[in-house]
Structure 1
Amino acid sequence: MTMLTPYALSTDGRATPLGIDEKSPLLSWRLRSDRNGDAQTAYRIRVTEGGTERWDSGRVESPENSGIAYGGSVLRSRARYEWTVTVWNADGEEAGAADSWFETALLHPDEWTAVWIDRNPHVHPPFDPPVVDDLTDRTRHLPAPPHLRRSFTLDDAPVRARLYATARGVYEARLNGRKIGDHELAPGWTEYGTRILYQTYDVTDLVTASENVLGAVVADGWWSGFVGFDSRHQAQHYGAAPQFLAQLVLEFADGSTRTIDTDGEWVERPGAIRYADLLMGQYEDASRAQPGWDAPGYDANDWLPVRVVDPNPANLVAEPDEPVRVTEELHPVSVTALGDGRHLVDFGQNLVGRVRLTVRGAKTGQRIRLRHAEVLEDGELYLENLRTAEATDVYLAAGQPVEVFEPTFTFHGFRYVEVVGYPGLLHAQDVVGRVLHSDTPFTGTFECDDEMVDQLHRNIRWGQRGNWVSVPTDCPQRDERLGWLADAQIFAPTAMRNADVQAFFARWLADVRAATTPEGVFPDIAPRVAMLTEGAPAWGDGGVIIPWLLYRVYGDVRTLERSYDSMAAWVDHVHRHNPDLIWRNRTGNNYGDWLQVDADTPRALLATAYFAQSAALIASAARVIKKDAQPYEDLHARIKDAFIDAFVEDDGRVVGDTQTGYLLALAFDLLPSHLVEPAFERLAADVEKRDHHLTTGFVGVALLCPTLAAHGRADLAYALLHQDTYPSWGYSIVHGATTIWERWDGWTADRGFQAAQMNSFNHYSLGSIGDWLYGGVAGIDQAPDSVGYRSLVLRPTIGGRLGFARASQETVRGRVASGWRLADGEVVVDVEIPPGSTAELTVPTSDPSSVRDADGEAVGAQLRLESGTYRFTAQPPTPKKGH
């Protein structure tokens, strides 16, 4: 029997979250059914705690399956809640059900009894490296990460044990000799002055009825380590040294509890790690390791007391999204012995993470150095583009037959690793690339029969993974790694195709809001560091655009509500300083169309276009959350008029005559209707006169192919997609790119490498074409008034040299898929629509009368479909002449 079934249940955007502090968490599920036309007509949610019912929604007549607010009794701290959802199908019959759970963390600030601790600098000697060592001035006096320890004894094993832990810095918690959890670089990077995330771990199985040892290693991380590129202030942006805070809560069978806090009873000392820095790397002397330091039975009499540095555990927030994890391991495609004790390891993929190295037969104190790089120059590592980031890990061997070195508190962006000082011949099986990123679930797929386009999609995904490390960064390798708002907003539509990034972005947007100036001005980056001021056009506007995208894609009203005041304050700020509605004043660094090629888009034009777009989005947001939209609707209309007066000529020419100028005017609806076609023709003519090459930078590139296709020139969009001469996406691929480059001319055959001061080979901004691969090539989109893919627009586009293309996405409704293939003189279109959604399908054909369904019935090219899976065949469209 067919059945409508809920699946992928989530609480606040996560499956079974262990430790939340929302007072009214949001419950969601997706739907599937193998019956066409099925839909949810009602649901019932039941929530229990320890077998006691806490909420029964009753049967609710509603198609909604996402963002249902918990409506039961007040949640208790440290409690496990189990919940079940039952759904009714399109016939009103009770159908499937599914179960999940969530657990609350510490919901009230007064429940924190732990205090912040760190190394006592008055009794602990500084790191004094060997005189013969070749450390640099940046790393020579970096402090050793303290190893922190607290022993305690229990008469009985607990029936439940939870550790709540965080750091100002990054930490690894340990209990009875074992690492706790699978988090990496916890707690992540936030606006520390406003909030610090803490993690919740279930450690019940690690605690015993005897001596126990709770430990942690704490390193500088983003708190006090090197961050950014300001030579006047490269480190210690937030504090001078890392600190740790933890609370282990033990519950026993008799109902009693015991808490082990960070306090003055803890002791510390350095271990094998001499220093660890996110940018510089990690230095480890295995001969200084303290075996068993984190386990019972260890003699810690010579350890030193910690210092209590802050008795106030304020601004703590339970981690609201998935942490950074090791998600994949890569093995080298080659290991080459270079002579002079050097080996060059090639992983075949530009990745972000670290290396696990197995060392065999090293003598005590033997020094092994690992240097990381994205590309090679004349067979050697190209390191100049790292700027001051050293990206170097050092291991001094302990002299054991087999040792394993894997740094813990650093990460690098690299494809190649030079290993110097390895004893004997290095074998590929002894080197493993460990891929690190925020573990956002990947939910989208795209494939076609053109290997270069498939490689482009892979490059986009790898770029997203590598730059999704706690915050959405610009690059993972050099001395920057900052959360640039423009990069994020430009790439966000693509990111939301590839993965479920709702919780990730919602969490980061809290830092964006916290980083605003007292005047309400968004920054260029968040979290904020010392050298940057107020946001530039398209950069600060990210604080408006991303909350709106979260609403449109995920139905995330809560983030929209929380962001609305700051969104409005941003536009009000721009308006206040630009009363003539042309944005020329208070433009921050005003980057324009960053890294455009052979074009100069007027910066006031770009700024004003974004001013108009942000005003329009705020008006839309106001309507959603029941605010007064009229002031921003009126403002948008006035900005549009000012834009036309200032930048649009009577024949449709847009001032500057650049691709990006036309794209902004067209995509943001800033032209009078009678000038849309003339302006578009100028855009198309510019692409054609350049022999199908682009000139767009960061801002324009995302709009290029979608706008060309939307105005009937998908042939030009495909020509750009397939282009493999400079400048193009394909040019980098032809020359070995496995991620998206920062700039079109990162390397060219005639000029070699671009200026080393800004030349990343792993940025995602120019990969924003990924949205069009899903939405244009495969054809998955939603209607302008749709939210959460409730009303789909499926418009697959045949073109270029493709013989097939298909994509799928796990949306908040369920799985959406669309694809096409050319076979035996026909086009075959396959689509899948989740229960409760409808779709307007346009079958690509030059003869609507040729369209047949799976039963051979003529159905026409324009179809309105209910949920289910469908196949149609038709005569393919006729290619445009000359293209």
Structure 2
Amino acid sequence: MQDLIVAQLTCEYRVNPVGIDVAKPRLSWKLTSSSPTPRRGVKQTAYQIQVAASGDFSDSLIWDSGKVASDQSVLVSYEGPALEARTRYVYRVQVWNDQGKASGWSETAYWETGLLTTAEWKASWITTAQLRNPEVEEPADLFRKAFEINGQVTKATVYATALGLYELTLNGSRVGEDLFSPGWTSYTKRLQYQTYDVTTHLQNGGNALGMMVADGWYKGNMGWKDRRNLFGSERAALLQLHITFEDGSEQVVISDDSWTTSEGAIQLSEIYHGETYDARLEKQGWDTFSYSATATDWIAAAIYDHPKEQLIAQENEPARIVEQLKPIAIFQTPSGETVLDMGQNMVGWIRFSVTGEAGQTITLQHAEVLDKEGNFYIGNLRKAKQTNVYICKGEGEESYAPRFTFQGFRYVKVVGYPGDVLPEHFTGCVITTDLATTGQFECSNPLVNQLQRNIVWGQIGNFLDVPTDCPQRDERLGWTGDAQAFIRTSAFNRNVAPFFTKWVRDLKADQAPDGAVPFVIPDVLPDDLHSSSAWGDAAVICPWTIYLCYGDKRLLEEQYDSMKGWVEYQRNQGDNPYLWNTGFHFGDWLGLDAKEGSYKGSTPEDLIATAFYAYSSKLLAQAAEVLGKADDAASYRSLFTKVKEHFRNEFITPSGRLCASTQTGTVLALMFELVEGEQKARVIQTLVKLVEDQEYHLTTGFVGTPYLCHVLSENGHHDVALKLALQESFPSWLYPVTQGATTIWEHWDGVKADGSFWSDDMNSFNHYAYGAIGDWLYQVVAGIDTDHQEAGYKLIKLRPRIGEGFEYAKATLDSMYGEIYSGWELNDSHSGQWTANLSIPANTTAELFLPNAKLESLLEGGLPIFEAEGIYARKQTFNGVTLTLGSGSYQFTTSAAK
């Protein structure tokens, strides 16, 4: 008997989450086998879930689902009694397979609830009583509370948040590894709090809590117009500590006016500009019980009148240090500057050690690239200073790293460092939202492999609590257009479901009553900057993509009104409800066919706007169908049809000529299914000719680039897509790679071949939008995709495609069901024989298409295809072979037609 194992239990996508406020948490699990050669075609036919309020299922069982006949193993909703606040719930799962055999119980996992209602917050907001000018940069605040406990502690939990960014300490030790808490949300509507288990931090007798609070995104300088106080003008802290003793009694410590406040060593801390730290001003031991807070240094905290109704539990994984890098070189520039080369364009900060005299100042300035003479270059930072300043206290070796700022950089200019600048003194701390790695792509072309690494590093650098456009200049905002363009690629590389769940909820919160969508989320721009096509469409594309990749119907339902609001907003623009030809649009942003002096490509804005209007209408109809909203589904299918008709009438001649003979125009018409029949054939021919006329170079901007290779591959021109993708000269995806790029550039020629720059004004070297080609590498080259009818890779679509320029390609995706693997290798280029290796996780089915294959000559595991196990259906088509596969590992050998 083969042992079926239920493993990798998660609750709301996370392993053993603490401090959640979801009323009905959703549970997921994966099925594995202890056998070294598990059988194929394993499916779940039933499950049973048990939930208890302690570790003993026999005494404290609160919900038993019983045996439920279902193959659902992803996002299964808890349906027991209402959950109580501040309670740990344990759960376990067993399943039955398609042979009726039970797995046995899984290992126990848990989730813990936080504070579930506003009434449960007994703490008060507190702020400093010192007089300050909110229009200027301010030192960080210190908040302190000493207290005593007497008894054996069995559990202690802190719930904390701030207006600003905070760091929490208890008895002199930092609590947790999270950075930039409470994260960035639409603060006036949604403010996260964090939950920490501090049981082991407490000591019998005297204890002390400390909170350090800085401006951060809440009231610091944001955007490129020197605007401050965008969410509020006062920093504040909120904390509640619950201590449970062995006898069942409880002690609660809350933030109130019994706390004291002061200033410490952080004299300036800004997201864009960096941090100034004067170590001479440190208050050693300020967050310990024995510290003496004198009246001159410390004053009573003031109660701050601020609502708590917008408080929510942490939704996303927090930001953390995920990797540490050492400099690969330290050198002198031609201008005589001392510069560290970290070898990678990264996001985070430098931690360093130094031995200097009191008052000695060390300055670190950060940059992405050097200029063509090899000098330190900061022109593309605009107003962002990206500078950290440390002033020594002069007491032996000192160590410093910032707390409430981050930089985007590869190079660091070091000024004022005493003695030799050596690599061992400096460490680059890579910071990102700590998302689980889910995907890997590799092929025979080393430049493409570097491109994939650059895509991943771009995602790491820009997924810092929100999906930012860039991490270095005076921007770093959650641009909606960039996010929707890249979301599918991001979902291959990392588990982004919690990340985008949080972000689309902020989009919904910031969306106007008429459905208008701001350019950036959270919204920090003037009120009139909203609702460009392809940018506002993030309201539809992002929730749909999370559903597609994770099967998350609840988020789709939750965001449905937002999705519908955006489509209706488009319908209400202008005089024609089926064309969008009014208002401001970014167009094909940074398209290379732009007119001189313009950032917008030459594809007409109304063509782009109407195309995305049609696309969002189609996706909304599909979402309505998934959610059982039959009337809406029919209504929006009809809307899509009408917008498509008007698109054709407006932009396509009767002979099939598209009015905009651009790569982007043709790509959108094809990708969004706006042309059919002879018109479609002509548009395809036009696109191919446009690419060939450019000698297999692209001219697309932010709007057309994500779909360009997809459209070519899906319309019979995979060879053209490959030539585009493998093009090394400008403009192409690989040109920056040949120039030494380690992340994705904002501009195709951010650095020109002669070493000069495209511009100073807008030239980020870590800007993930063009990294959307990663989606094509996974989906098309390696061939891993899913189906919206059975989303989340319940039904896996596999279509590995050999092509000129690759000897092999392979990808893995750790889906919600388990690892999917698709790899192919060309065995003999002369005969066209190739091998495809595939792995399909239990409880899923795959539809495999092998192009140009023949059933009579196809082998699986060395056997004729008709003798292979786990294959439910076999079909010969004109273009190849289609197979329906159960779970398991397979190896197919085929000969491709020459």
* Contact preservation (8 Å) 2:548, 2:786: no
SS in 1 for 2:485: helix
Matched, 1:82 2:90: yes
Q: What CA distance in whole angstroms lies between the structure 1 residues aligned with 2:684 and 2:381? A: 41
In structure 2, what is the equivalent of residue 163 of structure 1?
Answer: 158
After TM superposition, the structure 1 stretch with the greater mean CA deviation from structure 2, 388-397 or 527-536, is 527-536
In structure 1, what is the equivalent of residue 214 of structure 2?
Answer: 219
2:825 to 813, 821, 832: 821
In structure 1, what is the equivalent of residue 182 of structure 2?
Answer: 187
* Contact preservation (8 Å) 2:147, 2:289: no
Matched, 1:525 2:534: no
SS in 2 for 1:608: helix
In structure 1, what is the equivalent of residue 245 of structure 2?
Answer: 252
In structure 1, what is the equivalent of residue 870 of structure 2?
Answer: none
In structure 1, what is the equivalent of residue 547 of structure 2?
Answer: 551
- 1:182-233 Cα offsets, whole Å, 9 max, x none, are 11000011111101000000000001111100001000000011111124xx
After TM superposition, the structure 1 stretch with the greater mean CA deviation from structure 2, 29-38 or 506-515, is 29-38
* Contact preservation (8 Å) 1:581, 1:638: no
After TM superposition, the structure 1 stretch with the greater mean CA deviation from structure 2, 622-631 or 439-448, is 622-631
Q: What CA distance in whole angstroms lies between the structure 2 residues aligned with 1:505 and 1:622? A: 20
Alignment of 1:777-792 (within 5 A): 777-792=781-796
- 1:65-122 Cα offsets, whole Å, 9 max, x none, are 1111111111111000000011111201102542311000011210101111111124
SS in 2 for 1:822: strand
Alignment of 1:330-479 (within 5 A): 330-337=325-332, 342-359=337-354, 361-377=355-371, 378-479=373-474
Q: What CA distance in whole angstroms lies between the structure 2 residues aligned with 1:681 and 1:5? A: 52
In structure 2, what is the equivalent of residue 108 of structure 1?
Answer: 117
Q: How far did residue 581 of structure 1 move?
A: 3.7
Amino acid at match of 2:437: F
Amino acid at match of 1:174: T
Q: What CA distance in whole angstroms lies between the structure 1 residues aligned with 2:336 and 2:415? A: 6
CA RMSD of aligned residues (A): 1.7
Matched, 1:570 2:578: no
Matched, 1:64 2:72: yes
In structure 2, what is the equivalent of residue 712 of structure 1?
Answer: 716
Matched, 1:596 2:569: no
Change (3 A) 1:647 1:338: closer
Alignment of 1:849-864 (within 5 A): 849-858=856-865, 861-864=881-884
- 1:210-257 Cα offsets, whole Å, 9 max, x none, are 1100001000000011111124xx221112232111111111111111
* Contact preservation (8 Å) 1:581, 1:642: no
Q: How far did residue 521 of structure 1 move?
A: 1.3
Q: How far did residue 585 of structure 1 move?
A: 5.0
Alignment of 1:699-738 (within 5 A): 699-738=703-742
Matched, 1:497 2:497: no
Change (3 A) 1:877 1:581: farther
In structure 2, what is the equivalent of residue 623 of structure 1?
Answer: 625
Matched, 1:20 2:14: no
Q: What CA distance in whole angstroms lies between the structure 1 residues aligned with 2:186 and 2:294? A: 38
Matched, 1:871 2:891: yes
Matched, 1:580 2:580: no
Amino acid at match of 1:681: Q
Alignment of 1:145-294 (within 5 A): 145-231=140-226, 234-294=227-287
Q: TM-score, normalised by structure 1?
A: 0.95
Q: How far did residue 14 of structure 1 move?
A: 1.2
In structure 2, what is the equivalent of residue 682 of structure 1?
Answer: 686
Q: How far did residue 386 of structure 1 move?
A: 0.6
In structure 1, what is the equivalent of residue 616 of structure 2?
Answer: 614
Q: What CA distance in whole angstroms lies between the structure 2 residues aligned with 1:467 and 1:209? A: 43
Q: How far did residue 785 of structure 1 move?
A: 2.7
* Contact preservation (8 Å) 1:250, 1:257: yes
Change (3 A) 1:461 1:75: same
Amino acid at match of 2:536: G
After TM superposition, the structure 1 stretch with the greater mean CA deviation from structure 2, 211-220 or 819-828, is 819-828
Structure 2, unaligned runs of 5 or more: 594-600, 867-875
- 1:712-731 Cα offsets, whole Å, 9 max, x none, are 11111111111111111111
Q: How far did residue 312 of structure 1 move?
A: 3.4
In structure 1, what is the equivalent of residue 127 of structure 2?
Answer: 118
Structure 1, unaligned runs of 5 or more: 128-137, 879-883
SS in 2 for 1:110: helix
Q: How far did residue 531 of structure 1 move?
A: 2.5
In structure 2, what is the equivalent of residue 94 of structure 1?
Answer: 102
Q: Any runs of at least 4 consecutive aligned residues in structure 1 with deviations exceeding 6 A, and if so which?
A: none
Amino acid at match of 1:74: A
- 1:40-66 Cα offsets, whole Å, 9 max, x none, are 111110000123001100111111011
Amino acid at match of 1:265: S
* Contact preservation (8 Å) 1:199, 1:319: yes
Q: How far did residue 579 of structure 1 move?
A: 4.5
SS in 1 for 2:499: helix
1:46 to 24, 46, 50: 50
Alignment of 1:598-677 (within 5 A): 598=593, 600-627=602-629, 628=631, 629-677=633-681
Q: How far did residue 339 of structure 1 move?
A: 9.7
Q: What CA distance in whole angstroms lies between the structure 2 residues aligned with 1:457 and 1:805? A: 12
Matched, 1:766 2:770: yes
SS in 1 for 2:826: strand
* Contact preservation (8 Å) 1:616, 1:632: yes
* Contact preservation (8 Å) 1:482, 1:526: yes
1:307 to 282, 302, 307: 302
Q: What CA distance in whole angstroms lies between the structure 2 residues aligned with 1:630 and 1:847? A: 40
How many residue pairs are counted as aligned between the two chains? 860
* Contact preservation (8 Å) 2:570, 2:580: no
SS in 2 for 1:511: helix
Q: How far did residue 773 of structure 1 move?
A: 0.6
Q: How far did residue 633 of structure 1 move?
A: 1.4
* Contact preservation (8 Å) 1:115, 1:312: no
Q: How far did residue 671 of structure 1 move?
A: 0.8
Matched, 1:561 2:557: yes
After TM superposition, the structure 1 stretch with the greater mean CA deviation from structure 2, 198-207 or 337-346, is 337-346
- 1:683-733 Cα offsets, whole Å, 9 max, x none, are 111111110001111111110111111111111111111111111111111
Q: What CA distance in whole angstroms lies between the structure 1 residues aligned with 2:722 and 2:693? A: 16
Q: What CA distance in whole angstroms lies between the structure 1 residues aligned with 2:426 and 2:324? A: 10
SS in 1 for 2:691: helix
- 1:589-626 Cα offsets, whole Å, 9 max, x none, are 30001111125111100000011111111111111222
Q: What CA distance in whole angstroms lies between the structure 1 residues aligned with 2:417 and 2:22? A: 51
* Contact preservation (8 Å) 1:600, 1:658: yes
Q: How far did residue 149 of structure 1 move?
A: 0.3
* Contact preservation (8 Å) 2:518, 2:531: yes
Q: What CA distance in whole angstroms lies between the structure 2 residues aligned with 1:586 and 1:699? A: 18
Amino acid at match of 1:667: M
Q: What CA distance in whole angstroms lies between the structure 1 residues aligned with 2:104 and 2:544? A: 32
Q: What CA distance in whole angstroms lies between the structure 2 residues aligned with 1:428 and 1:758? A: 32
* Contact preservation (8 Å) 2:334, 2:375: no
